[in-house]
Structure 1
Amino acid sequence: MSCCFMCGKDIKQSIEGEEVPGGNKVRTFSYNELRKATHDFSEANKIGEGGFGSVFRGRLKDGTIVAVKVLSATSKQGIREFFTELTAISDIVHENLITLVGCCAEGSHRILVYNYLENNSLAHTLLGKGYSSIRFNWRVRVKIALGVAHGLAFLHEEIRPPIIHRDIKASNILLDKDLTPKISDFGLARLLPLNATHVSTRVAGTIGYLAPEYAVRGQVTKKSDIYSFGVLLLEIVSGRCNHNNRLPYEDQFLLERTWRHHEQGQLEKIIDADLEDDLDVEEACRFLKVGLLCTQDAMKLRPNMTNIVLMLTGEKGVSTDMITKPAVISDMGDIKVNNQQRPDDTHSPTMRSFTITEPSTVASSEATTEPSP
């Protein structure tokens, strides 16, 4: 039986013997309706893939174009709990967060329906994984960077309880017709099994965004999101992906290259050479320094999102002497081996894929292995 939220009504329905709370924001679709809308979830309509599932472009009966996300793992909850979580997610509204408009929970299927955004994702456009006619001048990049920062600050600091995203990366930053960035996939960790959202081996590029404590130990905090945001910030300024194995070994990881130029006092070399007259070199270098602050190995040294926004806008200074050498995870194979260790094994050897200057320090008030409920 399919879901039973109906737009504009606050009702209760019985699904498989359970009473399910209705809502006034989330519409329901049958599995067959979404299958038809996406031409049977055809590869031709596939527009993205992430740790939570694949996304397809779909056209509803009324002609509305939507983005249909098929969750890759069965929900860890029953239908009632699934709807309760979706209701909470649909109530989270911010200019820089994507809008959930519908869902399907039919049999083992769990599908979410979002507004379709015309300009796809940063991974598809700015970072060159697909043709784009968008002109990403400096002011547009500032708008995107600040928008993502505001959206993540909202999730971390203004939502109660806060939401830890777990998968901040370029493919999860979508752009509307005005190039306003929208963070997608927030809150989805609540809907899936505990092991379904940790280090996805299916998605190329994810590895470069992972904070060491998350990649190795599955330790999720706001600071792991901040690490990922720092990598994204470097990508926005440089216009290149965080990892490119076609480059010489020493230049393959953008974070390592940025650190090297920072040490040499030549951060401007990281800035995208295609940027033209509106480039503010000083501002761009400040963004890169904020990115380095976000990606430090010791979690306690990474700033929170509120301070990151203030540094990006220039309302707060960036303390260069606070920047230490970042940690970089460069080999998924090492993570797989390390993840097989016992959860209480706190004496695992330092992995060869780390570039570490000092041991990580974990503040007990921040550390957790689960997202906030």
Structure 2
Amino acid sequence: MSLGRSIRPGGPVGTFEEVCFKELRAATDHFNPKNILGRGGFGIVYKGCLHDGTVVAVKRLKDYNIAGGEVQFQTEVEMISLALHRNLLRLCGFCVTENERLLVYPYMPNGSVASRLRDHVHSKPALDWSRRKKIALGTARGLLYLHEQCDPKIIHRDVKAANILLDEDFEAVVGDFGLAKLLDHRESHVSTAVRGTVGHIAPEYLSTGQSSEKTDVFGFGILLLELITGQKALDFGRASNTKGVMLDWVKKLHQEGKLNLMVDKDLRNNYDRVELEEMVQVALLCTQFHPAHRPKMFEVVRMLEGDGLAERWEASQNVDTPRLRSSENMPQRYADFLEESSLVVEAMELSGPR
């Protein structure tokens, strides 16, 4: 592949058209800071307009100078391009030059869930209760596709509100579902650092460095708590000078029957109490300490659709939790585990275009 060539899917899967680096540079007005949509641990995302008028988000990766990087980059991008689902961010194209790696995505006009949850400009919340439910289900369906309908399957490893984008209809679109995996390849031989965001990282991933579908399930559970509370897990922890306390706080309120105290005040009590209880239960099932006790994403989708939650919740309450904690030396709180973890946690922001 010659330098400067860019390939993007056009029409049926497997057909491509070339788009040169110059066009992407021109589309973003020479990567003008005014066009920055977001910044992540691996690059900056710019809003751009192609010559045909198509508005796109261009992610400019940084520090990608390794031998054989082009072949690896193309292989991973082609794998990602096969993951086609309405709730997954579609890869429009990519560009490779001697010093540049760029990814091109559709522009998401309604930004990320994280940005919308903290949009206090309008008198009404940008995300009302019905939209939050829709986002939860759409995200779950996207993750289900990655876990069970992709070959090879893809593990996201950084599920959070900042990585869930919203299209023009406020449909949830999971972003960066392959990028973290793609970029980890170049460092796997020199680093065992856990990638993710503090407050969202599953305990077993912290302790072993091994990610699985259940790692994503844990992250999805924290995402549900973000949707419910309107707060960011990491900021919540910083405010209290502890880590990961959102999960512990929600567990405490749930045990005390004070669910109303955890609900985002921007909703102004405009939510369904029964649906709130159900969403909290799903979140707590997804964030159980032991990965084997967490549901798979197909079960999560079913529960969010109203099937099987009561039975699953009742079964979870019959688990001999104290004995399990004693036998495996599990801490009582997620915050305690984060403090006790021997691994260095890198709070990497892997956010996609937003």
2:334 to 320, 327, 339: 327
User: Cα 1:117–1:198, aligned 2, differ >3 Å: closer, same or farther?
Assistant: farther
Tell me, yes or no, if structure 1 residue 316 matches structure 2 residue 323.
no
Give 1:233's match in structure 2, choosing from 215, 218, 224: 224
Contact persistence 1:137–1:275 (CA under 8 A) = yes
Task: Name the counterpart of 1:164.
Answer: 155
Q: Percent identity?
A: 38
* Residues 328-343 of structure 1 mapped to structure 2, 5 A cutoff: 328=335, 338-339=343-344
Matches within 5 A, 1:258-297: 258-275=250-267, 279-297=271-289
CA apart distance, 1:303: 0.9
Does residue 39 of structure 2 align to residue 45 of structure 1?
no
The 1:120/1:329 distance shift into structure 2, 3 A limit, reads farther
Displacement, 1:252?
A: 7.7
AA matched with 1:90:
S
SS in 2 for 1:244: helix
* Offset at residue 263 of structure 1 (A): 1.9
Match of 1:116 in 2: 107
Checking the alignment, whether the CA contact within 8 Å between 2:200 and 2:222 is kept in structure 1 is yes
**Structure 1 position 108, deviation (Å):** 3.0
SS of the residue aligned with 1:209?
coil
> Equivalents in 1 of 2:336, 2:102: separation in Å?
32
Quote the offset at 1:106 in angstroms. 0.7
- What is the alpha-carbon distance in structure 2 between the residues aligned to residue 30 and residue 220 of structure 1? 36
| 2:246 corresponds to | 254
> In structure 2, the residue corresponding to 1:146 is in which secondary structure?
helix
CA RMSD of aligned residues (A): 3.1
Cα deviation for residue 187 of structure 1 reads 1.6
Aligned to 1:31: 21
Aligned positions of 1:1-373 closer than 5 A: 1-5=3-7, 8=10, 23-24=14-15, 27-74=17-64, 77-128=68-119, 131=121, 135-194=126-185, 195=187, 199=194, 206-242=197-233, 243-244=235-236, 247-248=239-240, 253-275=245-267, 279-318=271-310, 319-320=313-314, 322=316, 327-328=334-335, 338-339=343-344
What is the Cα deviation at residue 288 of structure 1?
1.0
Moved more, 31-40 or 86-95: 31-40
Name the amino acid aligned to 2:254. Answer: H
CA distance in 2, matches of 1:238, 1:6: 39
Alpha-carbon distance in structure 1 between the residues aligned to 2:99 and 2:243? 44
The CA distance in 1 between the partners of 2:269 and 2:344, in whole Å, is 48
Normalising to structure 2: TM-score of the pair?
0.80
* Structure 1: distance between partners of 2:243 and 2:334: 15
Question: Shift of residue 7 of structure 1?
Answer: 5.5
Counterparts of 2:62 and 2:79, CA distance in 1: 21
Give the Cα–Cα distance (whole angstroms) in 1 for the partners of residues 275 and 269 of structure 2. Answer: 14
- Distance of 1:161 and 1:50 partners within structure 2: 26
CA shift in 2, pair 1:39/1:339, >3 Å: same
Residues 1:245 and 1:299: Cα distance change in structure 2 (over 3 Å): closer
Higher helix share: 2
Q: 1:55 to 1:281 in 2, by over 3 A?
A: same
State the alpha-carbon separation in 2 of the partners of residues 7 and 72 from structure 1. 23
Change (3 A) 1:28 1:214: farther
Q: CA deviation at 1:331?
A: 6.3
Change (3 A) 1:96 1:38: same
* Native 8 Å contact 2:279 2:304 kept in 1: yes
TM-score normalised by structure 1 residue count: 0.76
Distance of 1:220 and 1:152 partners within structure 2: 14
Rounded to whole Å, the distance in 1 between the matches of 2:9 and 2:42 is: 25
Q: Is the 8 A contact 2:125 2:267 kept in 1?
A: no
Aligned residue pair count: 321
